[in-house]
Amino acid sequence: MRRGFAVFLLVTLVACAPPPSGQGGGALWQPSPNFDQRRPNFVILHQTSNDSAAKALATLTDPRRKVSAHYLVGRDGAVVQLVDESARAWHAGDSWWGGLSDLNSASIGVELDNTGDEPFAEAQIVALLALLDELRTRYRIPAANFLGHGDVAPGRKVDPSRLFPWQRLAQRGFGLWCESAAAAPPAGFDALLGLRALGYDITAPAVARQAFRRHFLASDSDTDLASGEQALLHCLLRQKAPRDPRGPMVPMVPATAE
């Protein structure tokens, strides 16, 4: 009898306890200590397209605009945090990378005070590199997962602009880069499949090519990739692929029926 009453009391107390946000409507709430905070695995870089940090800050904190980021880095190197890193900021919007269709839930968003038509200030880049180093250390973010808004939303977004110093970031481990002329890709290499393997959404091939060129070649062209550009793509894929003791990465060639 006493054991049955204890079970009844426990169920009653659980049922009467205030439910947490996000609880299933028909579920009882029995908290477990076995959890931790979600860990961001990407950093998405943006430009504000404003002519001052004050204007950008007003936009990013306006409840009517419904847009935010975790950090804003000014031209002078000042860094302002707007959203807790454990929370989901509204910065990437409709996005896709490597099969992930909600980058907001898996990333830290960083806005850079820049109009999109000007070089990025030295003080700003120095502050950005320090911030990225902290984020990488805190969350063990892979080099390949430092991306631009234009990478994860090609055709819809073009930031940061082709003036952004991706090579300099990659030299510090924030992004991929091929320093020297890349060797020719293997025979039959499929550039479109290669773009998808790198992470791009290839639903609209032209904008995927444009986003790739903006990031790695400081160009906005959307034509088919030339042989040298395909070599660059293949080089980047080899950098991204984890080291496999069994041999080199399988080349991106279309499958053929036997």
Q: Going from the N-terminus, what domains does the chain have, and what CATH number goes with each? A: 42-171 (3.40.80.10), 191-240 (no CATH)
Which pLDDT score is estimated for 223? 96
One-letter amino acid for residue 168 of the chain? R
What three-state secondary structure class fits 118? coil
Catalytic residue list contains 111: yes
Q: Which residue has the tokens 């947490």?
A: 20
Q: Are 237 and 178 in contact (CB under 8 A)?
A: no
* Cβ neighbours for 18, distance < 8 A, ≥ 6 positions apart: 29
- By C-alpha distance, which of 63, 62, 59 is closest to 72? 59
Please name every residue paired with 147 in a beta bridge, in sequence order, or none if there are none: 44
**What's this model's pTM, rounded to 2 decimal places?**
0.84
Selecting among 111, 122, 134, 258, the annotated active-site residue is: 111
Local structure of 142: helix, strand or coil? coil
Residue 191: phi, psi to the nearest 5? -65, -35
Quote the pLDDT of residue 182.
Answer: 75
Q: What is the pLDDT of residue 252?
A: 53
Phi-psi region of 116 (alpha: psi -120 to 50; beta: other; left: phi over 0): left
Q: What is the pLDDT along the chain (258 residues), one digit of tens a residue?
A: 445 433 333 343 344 445 555 555 678 888 888 877 788 999 999 999 988 999 999 999 999 999 999 999 999 999 999 999 999 999 999 999 999 999 999 999 999 999 999 999 999 999 999 999 999 999 999 999 999 999 999 999 999 999 999 999 999 999 999 987 778 999 999 999 999 999 999 999 999 999 999 999 999 899 999 999 999 999 999 999 864 444 444 445 544 433
